[in-house]
Amino acid sequence: MLKGKGQAFLEMASTEAAVSMVNYYTPATPHLHNRPVYIQYSNYKELKTENLHDQARPQAALQGVNAVQHGSLAITSALDGEGGHLPSQGSVLRIVVENVFYPITLEMLYQIFSKFGYVLKIVMFHKNNQFQALLQYADAMNAYCAKMSLDGHSIYTGCCTLRIDFSKLTTLKVKYNNDKSRDFTRVDLPFGDGQRTLDASLAATFATPNTVFPSYPGAAGFAQPLGFPQGAGISVPAAPGALGSLTITPSTVSGQIRGVAGIPGNSVLLVSNLNPEAITPYGLFILFGVYGNVHRVKIMFKKRGIALVQMADATQAQLAINHLNGQRLYGRVMHTTLSKYQTIQLPREGQEDKGLTKDYSNSPLHRFKNPGSKNCQNIFPPSATLHLSNIPPSVTVDDLKNLFASKGSTVKAFKFFQ
């Protein structure tokens, strides 16, 4: 127990038991004497209880490391516990986001991490099927505070968990200012090869250290990111040497951050460079349905290689972009971006359509009808391995292999779950 701090350490018999406990209590916060108890992992592998006198120094550090996000971050305690010396790591952090159910945007990372100091550069990428980012602060102290405060926290309850380490890199090289990389000290960088630079209104925003972005509104069925209230912006307590605690509301920002085209917050996707010989509305419904509930699909009557896909909400639309843009489908590299249209209109009666516009809003095949369902935690980029469920008990391995082979697939391996 940490006297007077309202905190304690609990060592379980095994790592598996600790993981099980955290997983159980993360979506359902336990209460003791009518007060919520927050449970998270400690940086320490075991508790040493035999020599109480020598515990004072590590305890001071532990208080900082394990301070719960709803209270003071107490980073100063952590530094005191280490003799007041800052560790020798640099100012670049490597951020891995585990269990990505809702999309992580560059603006969102900026908004969270700028609470701890001036963010100079951010680069986002996928590696080993994981969402990762590199983020450079102006000061190593800011990087240290951010790591100590945010490592292990989930942006949403039960998903989008931050794993933060110091990078071996001392500085980041950013060539483009776009939705995957940004240098906040350079307003002259292009979006990509041969593309325009940031427009004037955005350039003015990026030119100031205390850049503010629209608050991330959260997503249906999930708790708010890092515990901030709807529409009020992130309210992470300020750390030593950090920027003042900003409360960011949509009204404080005149213009949204835009991609090259499309409307931010839109749920309609523009999908292009499709194979017109092979593509069908149903095929797009099934593919995009892995990343959200598809309401409508429209293949263009005069341009069969272009389609519109309407998702249930903007968050699911962004998730589909993150996972499907640039994937090869029927021999062509598919381009997926936000559309300028807010909705897909169904054809009027008597209007020639040839079955190219379909409404799936009441389909029984939607995967995300129940908020917080297990499907929400199992979203991955396309790969050669499929997960099958709802298999009748009488079906054999050969039945399933023959079924997939009949559709032109070559089955390389198969395994039933135990």
Q: DSSP string of 161-220? A: EEEEEE-S-SS------SSSEEETT-S--BSSTT--B--HHHHHHHTSTT---PPP---T
Q: Phi/psi at 226 (nearest 5 deg)?
A: 45, 30
What are the tens digits of pLDDT across the range 335-366?
998 898 999 999 888 777 788 999 999 999 99
- Please report the pLDDT score of residue 123 as a whole number: 96
* 258 vs 372 pLDDT, higher one: 372
- Please report the pLDDT score of residue 412 as a whole number: 93
From the list 173, 163, 61, the residue with the least C-alpha distance to 122 is 173
Of 51-60, 297-306, 396-405, the poorest mean pLDDT is in 51-60
- Please report the pLDDT score of residue 211 as a whole number: 35
Q: Average pLDDT, stretch 371-399?
A: 86
Asked whether residue 290 carries a pLDDT value surpassing 50, the answer given is yes
Residue-averaged pLDDT of the chain? 76
What are the tens digits of pLDDT across the range 187-215?
778 877 654 454 444 444 444 333 333 33
Asked whether residue 330 carries a pLDDT value surpassing 80, the answer given is yes
Dist. CA 49–CA 29, nearest whole Å: 28
CB atoms within 10 A of CB 5: 15
**pLDDT interval class at 263 (50, 70, 90):** low
Domains of the chain, start order: 1-42+385-417 (no CATH), 92-183 (3.30.70.330), 268-371 (3.30.70.330)
Asked whether residue 303 carries a pLDDT value surpassing 80, the answer given is yes
Q: Average pLDDT, stretch 73-79?
A: 48
* Contact indicator for 213, 110 with CB cutoff of 8 Å: yes
Q: Average pLDDT, stretch 169-189?
A: 88
- Please report the pLDDT score of residue 79 as a whole number: 52
Dist. CA 63–CA 81, nearest whole Å: 9
Q: Residue 60's beta-bridge partner residues?
A: none
CB atoms within 10 A of CB 205: 18
With vertex at residue 393, the alpha carbon angle to CA 390 and CA 394, rounded to the nearest 5 degrees, is: 125
Asked whether residue 54 carries a pLDDT value surpassing 70, the answer given is no
- Please report the pLDDT score of residue 19 as a whole number: 85
Dihedral angle computed from the Cα positions of residues 174, 177, 182 and 188, in that order, rounded to the nearest 10 degrees: 80
Asked whether residue 327 carries a pLDDT value surpassing 70, the answer given is yes
The residue to which tokens 């936000």 are assigned: 338
**pLDDT interval class at 56 (50, 70, 90):** very low
The residue to which tokens 């075991």 are assigned: 46
Dist. CA 183–CA 164, nearest whole Å: 20
Q: Which helix (H) or strand (E) holds 282?
A: helix 281-288
- Please report the pLDDT score of residue 264 as a whole number: 58
Cα end-to-end span (Å), the chain:
42
